[in-house]
Structure 1
Amino acid sequence: MATLRIPQPLPSPVEDAENLRKACQGWGTDEKALISILGHRDATQRKSIRLAYEELYQEDLIKRLESELSGDFERAVYRWILDPADRDAFLANVALKNVIPDTSCYHRNSISPCELLAAKKAYQSRYKRSLEEDVASHTMGDFRKLLVALVSAYRYDGVEIDPSLALTEAKILQEAIQGKPSGLEEIIRILSTRSKEQVNATLNYYKDEYGTSITKGFMGGPGNEFWAALRLVVRCINDPNKYFEKVLRNAIKILGTDEDALTRVIVTRAEKDLKDIKEAYYRRNNIDLNNAKKQTKRKLQMSSIMIPCPLPSPTQDSEKLKKAFQGWGADEKPIIHILGHRDANQRMKICQAYQQLYNESLIDRLKSELSGDFGKAMVLWAMDPPRRDAKLAKDALKKKGTVKHLSVIIEIACASNPNHLIAIRQTYCSLYDCSLEEDIALHVDQPLRKLLVVMVSSYRYDREEVDETVAKSEADLLHDAIEKKNLDQEQVIWILGTRNRFQLKATFNCYQQNYGKAVDQDIKDCEDSDFATLLRTAVVCIDSPEKHFAEVIKSSVNGLGTDESSLTRAVVTRAEIDLLKIKEEYQKKYDTSLLDAVAKDTSGDYKKFLVALIGDGKLKWFG
C-alpha cells in the first residue's frame, strides 16, 4: 500500500507549476513549498506538472530544481520527480557505476515485468546502450551471468503454480548447492525465469524437504558477490517488505546514515508498498520509521565530520586513493582529504569499491603504507565501527587488565546504543572465535569481571520511558551502597547494567537532588579502588558521555608527552557520534578549545588527520 497523500481538491498542473516557479525565485529556495507540492503528487501528476512548467517558462523543471537544491535533499527530489521508468534506469546505472550488487539485484526483483521492460527502454533512451550491455561490461563471471539473466527475462506475472515442478526444482537447487556440475546455471535459470509465485512455491518445498531456508543453503557457497546476490534475489522475491525493512534498518542504524539507501527505498516504494514496509519496520524494531529517522538525525547533528557536496563516487575515491599509494612513499594529504571527510557508510562503500577494482583490501594497504600514530589512527578510522570497537576491546584485554585499559570496555558497553553493542559482540565472536564475555572471564579477576560481564551482556531498553518511583528507590539504594562502601554488591551492578539510559539519568538526578552531590563524585570519594574507578566510568558514560571523553582527551594531552592511544580512541570513535558535544564540554570545563589543545600537542600528518575529524570549519591546520 502507498503512503502518498494527495490533496483534495487537487490544484491544476498549471497552478502547481506557477507555485513551484514562485518557490524558486528570490534569495534562496522555498523548500517547504516544493515539498508541499511535489511530495503530494503521484507519478502521473508530477509528469503533468513538468510538462506545464516547460510550456509556461520554456525551461526544464528538473534542471531548475538541480540548480536550486543541493545535498541529499536535491538527490531525493531529483529521484522523486523522474518518471518511474526513468528513475529505475538511473538507479540501475548508478548501481553499476559504483558496483553495488544490492541495488542491481533489488531493481530486477522488486518491480513487475512491465516495469522492468519500461526501465530497460528508458535505460536505452537515456544512455544509448542496453542495460544488458552495461551489466556485462561492469561485472564478471557468475555474477555477470546472474545479472544479465535477471534483467533479460520477462517473467510470467500470474498466480498459478505447478507443485510437481516446484518439488523437482527444489531438488535441483539442493543438488546445485551440494556442488553438482552445471548447478550454478540451474540456480540462475530457476530464479531468473520462473514466475514469482512459482519460485516461492519452490522455496517453500525446499524448506519443507531440507529443513532450512535456501538463503542458508546459499551461505554455504564461497563468500563472494555471486552468492550474496543470490540471497538478495531470494529475499526480494520471497518477502519484499521484509527485504526493504532490512535495507531501511541498516541505512538508519549505521553510524552516518546511508542516505542513498534511505532515499532509494522511500522514493521508489512510496507509491507502491511503503505503508506495508513501515508496518514491517515497526514489528521488527518496535519503533515507528519516522521516529527512527528523527533519532538518527539528532545523532548526526552531533557529528563533527564535514562531508563534501557534491560527494564523489566510491569508485572515484578509490582511484584517488590508489594513486596516493603509488610512487615512493604514500601521499598522505589526499588520504586525509578523502577518508577524513567520509562517514562510516561512505568509507565502507569505498572499501568495497577498492577491493572490487584492485583485488586488495584497502585497510591492509593502509597498514602497509602508513606508520606511527597517524597510521594507527587512519586504520582504526577506516574500519567498520563494530569491528573497530571489537578490536579496541581485544587490545584492552591483551594488556592484562589494568584499570585504565579496562575502562575502554566500559566505554564501549556504556556509551554505545544497544544495537551497536550487539553488533560489536557479534563481530568479536566472528573475529576471535570466542565471545567478548568469555575473554573478559579469562583475563579479568573478580570483582571487576562481574561488573564488565554484566555491562557488555546487557541489551538496554532504548525508549524514553522513566518510572520516577523506581528512580527514587534506586537512588536510595545506590546511596546506601556508597555509604557502606559496598560498591560491588549485586544490586548496584544490576541497576547500572540493565536499566535504560533515561531511567538511569532519572535515578542520578534523584540522587543529586536528595543527597546534594553527583553519584559519580560520591563514588570517587567513597574509595580509591579499581572497582570504584570502573563503576564511576560506567556512571559518567551513561549519564554524560561527552563529559567522560572530554576528560579522556584532557588526560591524554596533559603533562609531559601525549597519550596518543587514548587521544586517537576518543576522537576516532566519537567523531560520528557526539564529538561536537565533547568539544562544547571541553571548552566549558577547561576554558580552551579542544581543537587548539589537540593541535598544540600533536604534529605532522597525525595532527592534520585529527583536526580533520574534529572539524574546524576551514581546516586552518591542514596545510
Structure 2
Amino acid sequence: MEGGWRSSDSFNEISRFMPSGQYLYSNLGLHEPSQFHPGNNGSTDQRNAVEINSHKDGGELQLFRPTLRDLYNQEVLYTLSQNNDLFSYMVYLQLCEPSDRDAEIIRRAMYANRTDLRLVMEIICTRSSLELLSIKQAYRVKYISLLEHDVLTKANGSLKEIISAILNSTYNGERFDTSMALCDAKVLYEAVTSSKYIDHNSIISIMSLRNIDQIKTILSSFKHLFGHEFMKFLKYYNSGEFGIQLRAVIRCIQFPEKHFAKQLRRAMVTGDSQEVLIRTLVTRSGIDIKNIDSAFSEKTGWSLESLIRNEFNCSSHENSLGWVRDALISLLKNY
C-alpha cells in the first residue's frame, strides 16, 4: 500500500539509533550488537528513539522486534522486561503484541503481592469482544492456564462474579441484535426495580450470554427506553456491594474514558501516577486518548500534558524521565 510501513523500513529506522553512543544496549540493558551500523551520534540517539516510539503505531513498532533480535543476538522484549526503569517499561509495552501485553498486565495484577482486580477489570472490560478473545488465547498460550479459571481462583466478591460472567461470554462476530438488546434492557430494568433487592442472577445471565459489543448495544437501548443511563439508574436503588461493582464494570464498558480518567485521579493520590500514565498513554493512544484527556480535565482542571510534565518533572531532556515525558507527550499529541 502506497505510503504504508514496509518491513524493510524497520532496519532503516533502527539504524537511526544504532549509535556510537550505543544508546540501546547501554540504557536498556542490551549487549553490544553483533553488527554495528552507524547512526547519529550519541547526543541524539535518545531523541530518535523517542521519535520512533511516539510516531509509529503498535503494529509498526512490532516490526522492530526481529531486527533488534538479529542485531543484539537476544530477545529484546525479555531483556526489557527484566529492567526496572520507566523508559524500559514504556518501550516494552509499545513493542509487545497488544494481546500478549494485556495478558501479562492481567497476570501481574492477579499474582502481585496485592491483587489488583480493578486493573484486571480495566483490561477485560475496555477491550472489544474480538480483542478479549485474543487476550484469552494469548493468556492460555503464555501461562498454560485459562484466564477464566485464574480469575475465579484469585478474585473474590461481586467483582469476581461479574468479571467471570464477561469472560465466559462467547464471541459471535461483530453483528448487533437490536431487538434482543431491547428485550435485555427491559430485563435489566425489572432486575433492579421488581423487588426489594436487585436480581443478581438475571444480570449475571445477561453478562455471560452477551459479548462486550452486544452489552454496549443493550446499555444504549436501556437509555432509549427509560431515559437514564443504566449506570446512573443503579445508583438510585439500593443495589448494595453488587451494584457498586456493577457500576464500575458498566463504566468501563460504556464510558472507558471516564474509567481511565478516574484511575489517573486515584493514582495522583496513591503515588502511582507515572506507571498509570505510561500504561494509559501506550494502550489507549489511537483509540480514545483525546476523550480521556477531556474527561480528566473536566474533573481536575488539568490536561494530561500538564500531569505528564508534573509527574516526569526534570530539567534535562537527556535522562530517562525526560525521554519518557517527551515520548508520552508525543503520543498524546500525535493521536
TM-score normalised by length of structure 1? 0.41
Query: In the alignment, which of 90, 98, 101 is matched to residue 87 of structure 1?
Result: 101
Q: 1:276 corresponds to which residue?
A: 291
Q: 2:321 corresponds to which residue?
A: none
State the identity %: 26
- Match of 2:254, as an amino acid? N
Shift of 1:89: 0.3
Shift of the 207–24 alpha-carbon distance from structure 1 to 2, 3 Å rule, reads closer
Q: Mark the runs of 5 or more structure 1 residues left unpaired by the alignment.
A: 1-5, 302-623
Shift of the 271–192 alpha-carbon distance from structure 1 to 2, 3 Å rule, reads farther
Query: In the alignment, which of 146, 170, 174 is matched to residue 185 of structure 2?
Result: 170
- The whole-number CA distance in structure 2 between the counterparts of 1:205 and 1:197 is 13
Shift of the 8–28 alpha-carbon distance from structure 1 to 2, 3 Å rule, reads closer
1:153 is paired with a residue of what secondary structure? Answer: coil
Q: 2:117 corresponds to which residue?
A: 101
Q: 2:199 corresponds to which residue?
A: 183
Query: In the alignment, which of 239, 259, 264 is matched to residue 248 of structure 1?
Result: 264
Q: 1:129 corresponds to which residue?
A: 145
Query: In the alignment, which of 234, 239, 244 is matched to residue 221 of structure 1?
Result: 239
Query: In the alignment, which of 52, 73, 77 is matched to residue 67 of structure 2?
Result: 52
8 Å contact kept, 2:104–2:139: yes
Shift of 1:186: 1.4
Shift of 1:297: 4.3
Q: 1:144 corresponds to which residue?
A: 160
Shift of 1:123: 0.7
> Counterparts of 1:494-573 in structure 2 under 5 Å?
none
8 Å contact kept, 1:257–1:296: no
- The whole-number CA distance in structure 2 between the counterparts of 1:32 and 1:181 is 58
Query: In the alignment, which of 9, 12, 16 is matched to residue 12 of structure 1?
Result: 9
Shift of 1:106: 2.1
> Counterparts of 1:237-316 in structure 2 under 5 Å?
237-251=253-267, 253-254=268-269, 256-283=271-298, 285-298=300-313
Shift of the 37–210 alpha-carbon distance from structure 1 to 2, 3 Å rule, reads closer
- The whole-number CA distance in structure 2 between the counterparts of 1:209 and 1:136 is 34
- The whole-number CA distance in structure 2 between the counterparts of 1:14 and 1:108 is 35
8 Å contact kept, 2:10–2:63: yes
8 Å contact kept, 1:17–1:50: no
Query: In the alignment, which of 40, 49, 57 is matched to residue 55 of structure 2?
Result: 40
Q: Mark the runs of 5 or more structure 2 residues left unpaired by the alignment.
A: 30-44, 316-335
Q: Deviations over 1:391-424 (max 9, x none)?
A: xxxxxxxxxxxxxxxxxxxxxxxxxxxxxxxxxx
Shift of the 33–237 alpha-carbon distance from structure 1 to 2, 3 Å rule, reads same
Q: 2:128 corresponds to which residue?
A: 112
Shift of the 34–217 alpha-carbon distance from structure 1 to 2, 3 Å rule, reads same
8 Å contact kept, 2:129–2:213: no
Q: Deviations over 1:127-169 (max 9, x none)?
A: 1111112111112354333222212223455464435x44443
- Match of 2:106, as an amino acid? A
8 Å contact kept, 2:159–2:246: no
1:86 is paired with a residue of what secondary structure? Answer: helix
1:107 is paired with a residue of what secondary structure? Answer: helix
Q: 2:24 corresponds to which residue?
A: 24
2:55 is paired with a residue of what secondary structure? Answer: coil
- Match of 2:102, as an amino acid? D
Q: 1:76 corresponds to which residue?
A: 90
Over the aligned positions, Cα root-mean-square deviation in angstroms equals 3.5
Q: 1:425 corresponds to which residue?
A: none
Shift of the 218–83 alpha-carbon distance from structure 1 to 2, 3 Å rule, reads same
TM-score normalised by length of structure 2? 0.72
- The whole-number CA distance in structure 2 between the counterparts of 1:116 and 1:191 is 14
- Match of 2:72, as an amino acid? Y
- Match of 2:137, as an amino acid? K
Higher relative contact order (Cα pairs below 8 Å, separated by 6+ residues): 2
- The whole-number CA distance in structure 2 between the counterparts of 1:27 and 1:132 is 38
Shift of the 17–125 alpha-carbon distance from structure 1 to 2, 3 Å rule, reads farther
- The whole-number CA distance in structure 1 between the counterparts of 2:214 and 2:130 is 18
Shift of the 8–250 alpha-carbon distance from structure 1 to 2, 3 Å rule, reads same
- Match of 2:130, as an amino acid? C
- The whole-number CA distance in structure 2 between the counterparts of 1:46 and 1:154 is 31
- The whole-number CA distance in structure 2 between the counterparts of 1:46 and 1:175 is 48
Q: Deviations over 1:291-346 (max 9, x none)?
A: 23223445x99xxxxxxxxxxxxxxxxxxxxxxxxxxxxxxxxxxxxxxxxxxxxx
Q: Deviations over 1:203-260 (max 9, x none)?
A: 355456666533244443223xx44431122112222233323333433x42624333
- The whole-number CA distance in structure 1 between the counterparts of 2:26 and 2:183 is 67
